[in-house]
Chain A
Amino acid sequence: MTTASETMDEVSKPAANQEPPYHRSPPLGEGWEAGGIKLTPEQQRARRARSIAIALALGAFVLVIFAVTIVRLGSHVLDGPDYMRPVQTNN
């Protein structure tokens, strides 16, 4: 009798004569078992540096948007949205 975890392991493991699961990207540096792209150390370093730079640029962009939004709203930032303000009546 097999346990549930053993069954899962068997399902997730490709058989020796099967092709790798192309719907999933391999971890960096491991490459494909058959016919795929294997990154050289230089390519890995370059990709990592580019990824960090893009992350930093996006982070900076978010900060700029946030700062400009606060500046543009000014003191109205404390007012809240229109639907939350009390309705004024003529009486």
Chain B
Amino acid sequence: MSLTVARAEPSIAGVGDYIELMKPRVMSLVVFTALVGLMVAPGHVHPVIGFAALLCITVGAGAAGALNMWYDADIDGRMARTAGRPIPRGRVTPGEAAGFGFTLAVFSVVSLGLLVNLAAAALLAFTIFFYVAVYTVWLKRSTPQNIVIGGAAGALPPMIGWAAATGSLAIEPILLFLIIFFWTPPHFWALSLYRAEDYARAGIPMLPVVAGEGQTRRQILLYTLILTPLGVTPWLLGYAGPVYGIAAAVLGAIMVVLALRVHNERGGHRASKQLFGFSILYLFLLFAMLLVDRMSGGLFGQFAA
């Protein structure tokens, strides 16, 4: 009996490859929404504690991204949008990505628990678990509702930020959660409309692949019609000033117009691309307005009154 020991080649992965594993673009939106959750929470957070909380949330989001790339390496290689990622390109091995992701996940959760508070750490652990185990491993390859349910993972960062500041939760961070939750389907389905062939090739049951373009366009409009009033709710419930309310209404109206164009579009995907691009701006501006409103300490409200 002979024993064959496989010897791994020394890694050629650079620092940039590991940063890419963390999905920096997704991470930036996570950090921003967590920052808003942290800043709009009542009470004062020491800047150093706030910075430590955001750092842990950032690293936790990066860990989730790395674990997602580790598990999805097979399908990433079959899709044009993701074929250039470090694992399909052969820069990082799946084992390296898994080790990197698990290490960062444990590090970020434990650090957040020790440096900030346990409630925030528990929420961060749940977010990583939900994104990796529930969305990536289970839902993504099994149901067209994958991004609807899985969107909860992307919607949790403002709640983590709020919990980091207060040690508890309230209606306001749940509202922020709901805004991102209902924003996710129009955002991802707009993308999947013009990437449907990619998803079909990889065997991912995205809505346009399974239910067709017509159904996807209807669902995009439906979710946008739920999202738009939700975006205005922080003002209606008195959590934000009228300037935020007006901005949310205008941005929501543009979202509805773009979703209607997607709904009525026949042949071509110009409207889908426009909606996908604007949806990122919509979420960024909505949260930025909330941040400005809170930082101005009600100045907008006094000015408008």
Contact = CB atoms under 8 A, between A and B. Distances in A.
Q: Do A and B bind each other?
A: yes
A39 B12 CA distance: 10
B115 A46 contact: no
A85 to B, nearest CB: 26
Contact of B15 (A37, A42, A50, A64): A50
Contacts of A77: none
Contacts of A37: 7, 10
Interface stretch (A1-9, A10-18, A19-27, A65-73): A65-73
A32 B12 CA distance: 19
Contacts, number: 39
**Chain B contact residues, majority secondary structure:** helix
B10 A47 contact: yes
Nearest to A36: B7
Contact of A49 (B14, B48, B55): B14
Given A64-B55, A65-B115, A67-B48, A50 B12 contact: no
A46 B13 contact: yes
Interface string B34-46: 0000000000001
B16 to A, nearest CB: 9
A67 B7 CA distance: 43
Contacts of B46: 71
B299 to A, nearest CB: 29
A85 B111 CA distance: 31
B52 interface: yes
B118 to A, nearest CB: 15
Interface in A23-53: 37, 39, 42-43, 45-47, 49-50, 53
For the complex of A and B, the 3 pairs showing the least CB-CB separation, nearest first, are: A53-B15, A43-B10, A71-B48
18 contacts: A37-B7, A39-B10, A43-B11, A43-B12, A46-B12, A46-B14, A47-B10, A47-B11, A49-B15, A50-B13, A53-B15, A53-B18, A64-B51, A64-B55, A68-B49, A68-B52, A71-B48, A72-B49
